[in-house]
Structure 1
Amino acid sequence: MFALPDFPQAERLGRVGWYSVDLKEKPDHNSKTVGVLYEDTVVPWLRETVGIRPLRNNQRYVETSEGYIWSGDLIPVRNLPNQPLTALPQKGRELGMWVEVTVPWVDAILDNPPPRSNFFEHRVENGLPLRLYYNQILWVDQIKGDENGQVWYRVNERYGNPGDMLWAPAEAFRPIAAEELAPINPEAENKRIVVRVRWEEQMLSCLEGDREVYYCRISTGVSSGSTPLSAIGSEGFPIWRKLHSLHMSGGTNTEGWDLPGIGWTSLFHGEGVAIHSTYWHNNFGEPMSHGCVNARPEDAKWIFRWTLPIVPFDTGDNDITVTGESSTRIKVLEE
């Protein structure tokens, strides 16, 4: 029941990230609809091409074996199962490991029902499986085997978790090594980030002095002012906390959000506005968020490694309001 699915055999795959999406005959919103795919369907990602999507910044489509899908609704994933570990690593006082989901999705069993988070509660109420997704970052604190030889990891969240703990097939998770989170150019002076939030200009630049060293498309807040702007003449917001992974939630019961396992989180304003990895959409270059700066997982990870403060690998957390360390500043502009 909980073995990994037989995903399509292709190096690059796409997961449908919306309730349903239309398959088009051509990379054109007005072309003939040749089919419909539903949420979490996984298809081969043949190539990306520029097409026609009226009234949107994003004009990219993905060609699949069945037709064309607007890229904002198709999340790039891979199917990379792992060799399970049979014992947890221990470093200092920490017994456990940080892991990344490396398959399109994996279903899990709740260890301590009922579900506490709105995300899992909603799925249970609607008869949906408890599911984890490609690129989520989680913590494993137990390993067990069953009578069929299946190895299971108990996965949870160290920060922001309302209490849910899940058992899932170990093959779905890649242990993260400390070396892959080594700081990038930590000696560089005057590091700073500029985020531009105009509807037609959703972008982020990392600078060392006046030299741009990294650039990516991002998605900021949909509502006007939801992503806070830096004060005119200020140096920007300091990153006040960084975490390997965070369960993020907010809003109201009817207009809220609740998302587990958000990786490479750099908080810079209030209690929850952050630059972070985004595994639930692929529409970068357009406003999509409740106020955070959504970034592709690989972009968020690079930014996380490049910015200050440096995060201890074992704990996966650095709060400068506690440690007193200096941090990189983020300037949010609408100009």
Structure 2
Amino acid sequence: MSNWHHSFRLLPIAALVASSFVSPVSAQPEPPPQARAASPLPAEPVWVVNLEAMPQRSTPDEEGEPIANLRQFTYLEVTGYQGEWAEVLNPRTRQTGFVPSDAIGPTDPPPAYLTADPPPGVDEIDMVGRSIRGAPLSFYPTPDPDAQLETLTLNSPVKIADTVEGDDGETWYRTAGGDYLPQTSVRLPRPPPRRFPGRWIDVDLGEPAMLVAYEGATPVLTTLTIHGAGPRPTPLGVFTIIRRVANETMNSDTIGIPRFGPGGYYLTNVLFTQYFTGDGASLHYNYWSGNWGYAASHGCLGLTYADSAVLWSWAGLGTPISIHY
């Protein structure tokens, strides 16, 4: 984050007071009144940032309807003042509203891309994907660190609207919220090799591995999944859910790996376990690893608590699972 995010120069505020005194001589006509300035702001735009996250309101008071939620250090152009409130234009959204004048601080003019029009879309996507570790969410498709809003954690859901060309010449995804992510930082589902009627699950083990739950042809859940590593890969093929255990204890002795030997384990409170093979392969909540999308299991499909809970409520005995690369 650039230095202006942390260091603000307090600009002196000068109050300009104009007064005139007219001699009380009745023989002299009063001079015509001078036209008053329409705004006390200088000709050049006055740029500020909000010092903390806050709503931008429709009217200059606390009862004003919030029209936007401003992230901390959002560039704003001051267009005027009403009492203790500043009227500001958000150049990114083109919305004008009000913020308390004591909650903003001066800054240098923003980079040119902030006031530029959004880039045109190239390809429509309209899909939900998941972020790959370290995905930089930015308000403009540029690698400039000043444009970055936050870094998404691995497996964060993102709704992708379309692709655009960034100012670096690379392909970027535009989110449904109007922000941008490099194409390389998002995993989108690929077309499944086969489909099933009703509710079914597709698992694409191409890393980062992705699980998509479908209702017919419509995806209802898209997420990254841990998959089997080394000598115990996740099996390939078409399976069905054959057994369900709400709260399981997993003991490696049951699959031929000594509990206290290399690679052994004894795990309690493994929630939402749904087996799809007779030798123990299942999908379940994986609380001991967060390596979503990559090989880190003995053949099972490991999921977050939220995703495994959704699948537990949504799927059932006999639900097809297609696993492939």
TM-score (normalised: structure 1): 0.37
Larger relative contact order (Cα-Cα within 8 Å, sequence gap ≥ 6)? 1
The structure having more radius of gyration, on CA atoms, is: 2
TM-score (normalised: structure 2): 0.38
